Amino acid sequence: MRLLLLAPPGAGKGTQGERLSAWSGARHIAAGDLLRAQAQAATPLGREIAAHQARGDLVPDHIVLDVLTPAVIEAAAAGGYILDGFPRTLPQATAAAELAAGLGVMLHAAIYLHAPEAVLTQRLLDRASQGGRADDRADVIRHRLRVYADTTGPLVPYYEERGIFIAVAADQPPDAVTAEIRTRLSGLNLSRS
């Protein structure tokens, strides 16, 4: 199984990625986690990543691709992947599609988790109050949601045109979201290349 979870901050990509991984055995690859790990390593690359994240900006495409490509290749060889938070821009999506096509590991589905902005903001503020990430502040949250709409929003029609797009309302309980995703995936041919 090769899936992409496409969603704004706070929509539950991490939760659903972990659940789908446990259900399918495909490896959950959280782009944000890999990038944060690089940032915490405080290498020159990590410091550059940290600076982008502190502002709530997207990390440049070439850096994201360099960090994630080895993990995706390894997961595909091990039986599948669930990408969480990557690609986030149209150039990332086209570069990833070219790479995947060359390796014979194209996506089976792009799952779009959507919810109203007010719900997303409240979820992120709640996470911050429980010891969440440094970028879970109201001003940064608003900026992150704007950046998402501007840069990641164009991926919706991109994946719709490829016939692999599945939209799921994320403003319902997590168990209901998981059940809907699994139901929608059950109708797909997940054995194709």
For residue 193, tell me if it sits in a domain: no
For residue 191, tell me if it sits in a domain: no
Per-residue pLDDT at 144: 87
For position 39, which CATH number holds?
3.40.50.300
Please give the Cα distance from 55 to 57 (Å, whole number): 5
User: How many Cα atoms are found within 13 Å in the side-chain-facing hemisphere of 27?
Assistant: 14
For residue 80, tell me if it sits in a domain: yes
Please give the Cα distance from 51 to 40 (Å, whole number): 11
Alpha helix positions (H), 130-173: 138-147, 155-161
Residues sharing a CB contact under 8 Å with residue 81, sequence separation 6 or more, in sequence order: 2, 3, 26, 27, 28, 29, 72, 75, 105
- Count CB atoms within 10 A of the CB of residue 4: 26
For residue 116, tell me if it sits in a domain: yes
Q: Model pTM?
A: 0.84
Q: How many domains does the chain have?
A: 1
Tokens of 27: 């490896």
The answer to whether 113 and 13 are in contact (CB under 8 A) is: yes
Place of tokens 């996470």: 127
For residue 30, tell me if it sits in a domain: yes
Angle at 14 between CA 181 and CA 189, to 5 degrees: 30
For residue 83, tell me if it sits in a domain: yes
Helix (H, G, I), strand (E, B) or coil at 88: coil
Burial environment of residue 156 by CB neighbours within 10 A (0 to 12, 13 to 18, 19 or more):
middle
Q: Which one-letter DSSP state was computed for residue 149?
A: I
The answer to whether 10 and 85 are in contact (CB under 8 A) is: no
For residue 169, tell me if it sits in a domain: yes
Look up the domain containing 151 and give its range. Answer: 2-186
Tell me which amino acid residue 107 is.
L
Residues sharing a CB contact under 8 Å with residue 56, sequence separation 6 or more, in sequence order: 135, 140, 141, 143, 144, 147
For residue 8, tell me if it sits in a domain: yes
Per-residue pLDDT of the chain (193 residues; tens, 9 = 90+): 999 999 998 999 989 999 999 999 999 999 888 998 999 998 888 999 999 888 878 788 889 888 888 888 899 889 899 999 888 889 889 988 988 888 788 899 999 999 999 999 999 988 888 876 666 788 888 888 998 899 888 999 999 999 999 999 999 999 999 999 999 998 877 654 5
